[in-house]
Amino acid sequence: MALRTRLTDLIRIEHPIISAPMAMTAGGRLAAAVSSAGGLGLIGGGYGDAAWLEREFAQARPARIGCGFITWSLAEHPFLLDAALAHRPAAVMLSFGSPARFVPPIKAAGALAMCQVQSMELAREALDAGADVLIAQGAEAGGHGMARATLTLVPEVADFLAARAPDTVLVAAGGIADGRGLAAALMLGADGVLVGSRFMASAEALLSAPSQEVALALDGDATTRTSEIDIAHNTAWPAQFTGRAIRTRPIDDYRDRELEAVAGLGEAAGLIHEVRPAADVLRQIAAEAERLLCDKGPAFVRAA
């Protein structure tokens, strides 16, 4: 048995799970592994490294994958979208900036336009731009984000889409690392989930073994949202988006670069306990959600 949702039907995948396009972490091998296991894997377009993008698309062949971009950075390097579309991706995800100028060429190329949003204002903007899929990202997520929590943002966006654009598919993101998160997201009104932090601890992620060991040593209390890293790196992030940083140094002899490599880890850190192949991670999340929905759901319903 498998979970069938509007997301699985739209993208033609087996499981309603997308791997997040984590910059410099989600490369071609990870995207291909997720897609080959029945989800949709996304390469992280990052801040505009054309050579890196080409290399990772080559690594993914012949899997059917997608790509994600930091939208404000893509606006500074718009040729990267043409480069990505030349590989005929299944979908292109845009986040952190206005998607209006990029959605038309994405759809004209035959790819799905997926827009990640962190507020109702951004949800309305993405819908007006013509997005096929909205990804409602709560503040529990790794990487950059805003202040709204997944638990309230997802159902509010779901209600908004039901009233205004019922054919638009909704994906939940932020703090989802196992089957409990997937099952909960479906109950909140989402059609599937975007998973980032859990795939950082996969065999195919572009992280060193020491960096992954740091990730496994952290719990959900170990990170915080801040703009300090962006200021230190002189990256031009819009002020409304904060990034994740390590709050504590759990193991003193780890080098700074290893702590920095996992700074994008989200509040789901405490749910991640081992490094496994991405395909195993995806199948475990899907199987656990299926079991919970089938077995535990009816147990909460009592006859009058």
DSSP per-residue string spanning the chain: -----HHHHHHT-SSSEEE---TTTS-HHHHHHHHHTTSEEEEE-TTT-HHHHHHHHHHHTTS--EEEEEHHHHHH-THHHHHHHTT--SEEEEESS--TTTHHHHHHTT-EEEEEESSHHHHHHHHHHT-SEEEEE-TTSSSSB-S--HHHHHHHHHHHHHHH-TTSEEEEESS--SHHHHHHHHHHT-S-EEE-HHHHTBTTSS--HHHHHHHHH--TTSEEEESHHHHHHT----TT-BEEEESS-SSTTS-HHHHHHTTT--GGGGG----B-HHHHHHHHHHHHHHIIIIIHHHT----
Would you say residue 4 lies in a domain? no
244-281 pLDDT per residue, tens: 777 655 444 444 555 555 656 788 888 989 999 999 99
* Pair (95, 155) in one structural domain: yes
For the segment 215-242, the average pLDDT, to the nearest whole number, is 76
* Pair (290, 174) in one structural domain: yes
Would you say residue 164 lies in a domain? yes
For residue 109, give the CATH number of its domain.
3.20.20.70
Give me the residue label for tokens 């059917």.
64
* Pair (262, 169) in one structural domain: no
Given this model, what pLDDT does residue 210 score? Answer: 80
Q: Are 177 and 199 in contact (CB under 8 A)?
A: no
Q: Is the pLDDT of residue 190 over 60?
A: yes
Better pLDDT: 93 or 147: 93
Would you say residue 98 lies in a domain? yes
The answer to whether the predicted template modeling score (pTM) of the entire model surpasses 0.75 is yes
Would you say residue 193 lies in a domain? yes
* Pair (74, 55) in one structural domain: yes
* Pair (234, 133) in one structural domain: no
Would you say residue 18 lies in a domain? yes
* Pair (92, 126) in one structural domain: yes
**Tokens standing for residue 278:** 């991405």
Q: In the chain, how many domains are there? A: 2
* Pair (24, 100) in one structural domain: yes
14-66 pLDDT per residue, tens: 999 999 999 889 999 999 999 999 999 999 998 878 999 999 999 999 999 99
* Pair (25, 156) in one structural domain: yes
* Pair (87, 129) in one structural domain: yes
Would you say residue 114 lies in a domain? yes
Asked which of 86-90, 143-147, 184-188 is least confident by mean pLDDT, the reply is: 143-147
* Pair (116, 136) in one structural domain: yes
Would you say residue 154 lies in a domain? yes
What is the C-alpha to C-alpha distance for residues 245 and 226, in angstroms, rounded to an integer? 7
* Pair (197, 117) in one structural domain: yes
* Pair (291, 226) in one structural domain: no
Would you say residue 5 lies in a domain? no
| Containing structural domain, residue 79 | 13-206+275-298
Given this model, what pLDDT does residue 7 score? Answer: 98
What is the C-alpha to C-alpha distance for residues 192 and 173, in angstroms, rounded to an integer? 9
